[in-house]
Amino acid sequence: MNAPMIDIDGLRFHYRDRGLLFDAFSLAIAKGEAWSIIGPSGCGKTTLLYLMAALNRPDAGVIRVGGVPLERPRPRTGLVLQDHGLLPWATVEANTKLGFKIRGFYGPDGRHSPKDTVRDRTTEDALTDHWLSWLGIDHLREKYPADLSRGQRQRAAIARTLVLQPDLLLMDEPFSALDAPIREELQRVMNRFHRETKLTSLTVTHDIEEAVVLGEKILILSDTLNQVPTVIENPHAGDPDLRKSAQFLDQCDRLRRLLEPRNRKGEA
């Protein structure tokens, strides 16, 4: 197996007004894998993603990303949220280049931008062109977020993250606010993305089908205390015809059963 991209070791976390969400929770995610994280609302799946992004701090335990214990948000980690988070007063192109501006603002300090950051407009323009056309929104670069459909906004948010060339992609319910056809289209886009780049990625979702389509491995969290992770293998994720196969329905069914509280013990 590859060296783990993410190594969670003895994680303990709780919110002030609730009981423990994670205790002695350990999990390794190998480089190049695509994972889904699923569970009922309030189970801590977004919390876990935020912990991996260092936007939440663990009570105890260590999370290593790329071998380095997390102290603060990592410049090479890309994050896409359910809300596109685009600046309403900036065009798609300006939004896409926002990360470059922020990196230029701080310079290569290793905290806000990688140590090897060199501002180079030609490369920035090339990356912007590449990802805007790869995501099919090149023709919208002069538009403002308010002029776009929800799906286009989410594509712009993804472009803004990818131009910074992350080595880890964390997505929190990225397509949950979209209508089914647009959602499935974007899932295909992410499948293609993973085939082409083999970037380590984690997608939090509450949607069973989405978990099966996107995750080669699926982590199931419970709304009570999470200690031993429940992970199921899902090797057919990303197959172009997955949705039409019998395997797909089987896998969805299996997941559905595991998500019922009384059945969620022991399977690993």
Residues that bind another protein (CB under 8 A): 53, 55, 73, 75, 77-79, 81-87, 89-90, 98-99, 101-103, 105-106, 111-113, 157, 160-161, 164
**Distance in Å, CB of 95 to another protein, minimum:** 10
**Distance in Å, CB of 25 to another protein, minimum:** 23
3-state DSSP helix/strand/coil percent for the chain, to nearest 5?
Answer: 35, 20, 40
Among the listed residues 84, 52, 70, the one whose alpha carbon sits nearest the alpha carbon of residue 175: 84
**Distance in Å, CB of 18 to another protein, minimum:** 19
Q: Which is nearer to another protein, 42 or 73 (CB)?
A: 73
Whether the Cβ atoms of residue 29 and residue 216 lie closer than 8 Å to each other: no
Residues making up the chain, counted from first to last: 268
Q: Which is nearer to another protein, 102 or 249 (CB)?
A: 102
Q: Which is nearer to another protein, 141 or 160 (CB)?
A: 160
Q: Which is nearer to another protein, 79 or 259 (CB)?
A: 79
The structure tokens 């990818």 sit at: 162
Among the listed residues 215, 213, 249, the one whose alpha carbon sits nearest the alpha carbon of residue 232: 215
Among the listed residues 231, 248, 250, the one whose alpha carbon sits nearest the alpha carbon of residue 239: 248
Q: Which is nearer to another protein, 101 or 139 (CB)?
A: 101
**Distance in Å, CB of 76 to another protein, minimum:** 10
**Distance in Å, CB of 169 to another protein, minimum:** 11
CA separation for the pair 72, 91 (Å, rounded): 29
